[in-house]
């Protein structure tokens, strides 16, 4: 799970990884996957052996930096987008035109990350349904294809939230817990590896191998 990337090399924002570290990390992961006879896979609601690359929030660096690196290795990637961030005018985030451009990129797929980025468990059922429906229709209109996945803002969810997500016809939901997606009953709480700004390429590789699972939340 990546968030923002930056070309300046700074590490003061825990969720903004330097672009060189990102490129080095993808290279290290690609080499390791080849050695282990593994592969990169698209994020989905099916537990599939391999490595799935995801981005949360909808940062512009996904288009401006990550796309080229991932394209060099033909790696699929999944972008979870928060509607309010896109409409804010903040230049850190993708614009509607950027999202349309990303939708034309081979291997790029999309998921919801809410309208307001409010933790889902804090929303009343009707408000949660509105977040899901509004963000889904808006994103489907932009990318011109069905959207059926969601990432929980702040990694926040409970049983009530998962039941509503499922009832809205979504097929997969990603959280922030460390681990591996191995079983069908995880599809509404799919674990991911959280990558932070101070992580080196070696740390990203170690996290992906599961070396850090015992210390991650």
pLDDT band at 216 (very low <50, low <70, confident <90, very high): low
Q: Catalogue all structural domains in the chain, each as residue range(s) with its CATH number.
A: 4-209 (3.20.20.370)
Identify the three-state secondary structure at position 81: strand
Chain segment 58-73, per-residue pLDDT in tens: 999 999 999 999 999 9
Q: Mean pLDDT for the chain?
A: 96
Residue range 157-177: mean pLDDT, rounded: 97
Q: Is the pLDDT of residue 213 over 80?
A: no
Distance in angstroms (rounded) separating the CA atoms of residues 109 and 102: 9
Q: Are 173 and 56 in contact (CB under 8 A)?
A: no
E strand residue ranges, the chain? 4-6, 16-18, 53-57, 77-81, 108-112, 149-151, 172-174
pLDDT of residue 211: 87
CA 38 vs CA 52, 73, 131: distances in Å: 11, 14, 36
Q: Is the pLDDT of residue 205 over 80?
A: yes
Q: Is the pLDDT of residue 217 over 80?
A: no
Helix (H) or strand (E) run with residue 132 in it: helix 125-143
pLDDT band at 178 (very low <50, low <70, confident <90, very high): confident
Q: Are 76 and 107 in contact (CB under 8 A)?
A: yes
pLDDT of residue 212: 82
Contact residues for 124 (Cβ-Cβ < 8 A; gap 6+): none
Distance in angstroms (rounded) separating the CA atoms of residues 14 and 3: 9
Distance in angstroms (rounded) separating the CA atoms of residues 112 and 210: 27
Q: Is the pLDDT of residue 196 over 80?
A: yes
pLDDT of residue 215: 72
Q: Is the pLDDT of residue 56 over 90?
A: yes
Residue range 102-129: mean pLDDT, rounded: 97
Residue range 26-48: mean pLDDT, rounded: 96
């Amino acid at each position: 799970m990546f968030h923002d990337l930056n070309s300046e090399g700074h590490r003061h924002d825990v969720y903004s990884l330097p672009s060189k570290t990102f490129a080095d990390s993808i290279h290290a992961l690609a080499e390791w996957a080849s050695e282990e006879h593994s592969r990169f896979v698209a994020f989905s609601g099916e537990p599939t052996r391999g490595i799935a690359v995801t981005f949360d929030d909808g940062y512009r660096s996904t288009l401006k930096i990550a796309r080229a690196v991932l394209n060099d290795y033909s790696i699929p990637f999944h972008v979870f987008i928060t509607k309010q961030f896109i409409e804010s005018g903040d230049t850190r985030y993708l614009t509607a035109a950027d999202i349309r451009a990303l939708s034309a990129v081979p291997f790029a797929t999309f998921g919801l990350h809410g309208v307001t980025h409010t933790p889902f468990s804090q929303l009343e059922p009707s408000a949660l349904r509105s977040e899901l429906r509004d963000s889904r229709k808006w994103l489907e209109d932009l990318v011109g294809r069905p959207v059926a996945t969601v990432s929980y803002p702040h990694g926040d969810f409970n049983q009530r939230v998962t039941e509503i997500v499922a009832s809205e016809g979504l097929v997969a939901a990603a959280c922030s817990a460390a681990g591996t997606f191995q079983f069908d009953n995880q599809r509404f709480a799919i674990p991911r590896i959280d990558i932070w700004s101070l992580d080196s390429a070696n740390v990203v590789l170690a996290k992906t191998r599961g070396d850090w699972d015992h210390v991650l939340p």
